[in-house]
Amino acid sequence: MKRAVVILANGFEEIEALSVVDILRRSNIQTDIAGTEREFVEGSHGVKIIPDKHLDEISVDDYDAVILPGGSPGYINLKNNEKVLDLVKTANEKGKLIAAICAAPTVLAHAGVLKGKRATVYPGMEDELRKGGAEFKEDPVVIDGNVVTSRGPSTALLFGWKLSEILAGKDKAEEVAGRMLRDLVFG
């Protein structure tokens, strides 16, 4: 069974975090929520989540994917956390799947894992990706090697389904998307 970890810091974007966790769990991917705080992590819109684990309790070796939601100031809190940066760098060195949405791709740029890669980010933050050596793309979801990036809250479902496809296979991802009535909205 594939395993993923979604890392939350105070100020995370709830839709981006929870829709991805939901889709991955529906896809039978063991998905842990790791918080930078021990008791709870509070989203940018006041939703409080009790993480499954604290950031100190996780190891890259236990996961196939490391996922960062955006949100403000969540992405700043992720970017300023040395443990998060080290986790992302180590995951990249080991060829693990690294995924970030909204403003969180700037964390990947800051960690140095976007050099020479195509990526996307929340509008207005393109230069931060370029400073990190990435080639900016406007697509809702961009995949380049082991890195998956996405634009923001409205692309969170597309991002989640793409991660499901990569981790659980196309058939499982299609099954999950079908049960979620994707075609009613996305055609």
DSSP secondary-structure letter at 134?
P
Q: What share of the chain is helix, strand, coil (3-state, %, to 5)?
A: 45, 20, 35
The residue type found at 142 is V
Per the residue annotation, which of 20, 102, 167, 168 is the catalytic one? 102
**187 in catalytic set:** no
In terms of phi and psi (left: phi > 0; alpha: psi -120 to 50; beta: otherwise), the region of 15 is alpha
DSSP secondary-structure letter at 27?
T
CA pseudo-torsion sign 165, 168, 174, 176: negative
Q: Which residues belong to the active site?
A: 102
